[in-house]
Amino acid sequence: MLELLSQPWPWYIAGAGIALVMFLLLWFGGEFGVSGALGTMCSMCGAGKKVPFFNVNWHNQLWNVVFVFGGLVGGFIAGHWLNSGANIQISQATVQDLQALGITNFSGLAPAEIFGTDQILTLRGFIFLVIGGFLVGFGTRYAGGCTSGHAISGLSNLQLPSLIAVIGFFIGGLLMTHLLLPFLIGL
């Protein structure tokens, strides 16, 4: 069983699992939207004293932060006890594109050349980690949701605003991938 679970899971299992997670969160009185937890963390740290946007009763939203922390523990469990150690089988075309950009290490979940801890204090590390994270936090709160809140929850509820947001996600992602990334990886 552990052997089977340690293999990569197919897309339909993952999609069904994510839908199950959304269902459980709704059933238990929450909702599926991870980026909201980032705002709750701001409120918990006392940001509401300076920025009215965060002056909310965060105790009602604590469940979302707990959910995200559970995700971290789930990542630990999967990484330590359900890990086959094999490289991710991405398409050959992607491997070739990334090799052309200078990526050589295809082991693990993210390339160590960019996301290793030894990269944190480099210029490239600053752009991918600090700027990248900032854009994720700023953009998701501006858009009012991320992949879970808009692409899954919002589209499931047939919300046009969520479709606009998802189109935005792809405009930004395509611009970064095809125009900016070739330059930034070379730094």
Query: Which residues within the stretch 94-153 sit at the binding site for another protein (CB under 8 A)?
Result: 94, 97-98, 106, 108-111, 114-117, 119-120, 125, 127-144, 146-148, 150-153
Q: Binding-site residue total for another protein (CB under 8 A)? A: 126
Given 57, 157, 183, 186, the residue binding another protein (CB under 8 A): 157
Smallest separation, CB 36 to another protein (Å): 9
Residue 180's nearest CA partner among 109, 132, 120 is: 132
Given 17, 99, 123, 187, the residue binding another protein (CB under 8 A): 17
Q: Which residues contact 19 (CB under 8 A, 6 or more apart)?
A: 152
11 sits near another protein (criterion: CB under 8 A): yes
Smallest separation, CB 186 to another protein (Å): 14
Smallest separation, CB 57 to another protein (Å): 16
58, 112, 157 from 46: Cα distances, Å? 10, 35, 33
58 sits near another protein (criterion: CB under 8 A): no
| Tokens encoding 108 | 């693990």
Count of other CB atoms within 10 angstroms of residue 88: 11
61 sits near another protein (criterion: CB under 8 A): no
Smallest separation, CB 46 to another protein (Å): 11
Given 3, 57, 85, 91, the residue binding another protein (CB under 8 A): 91
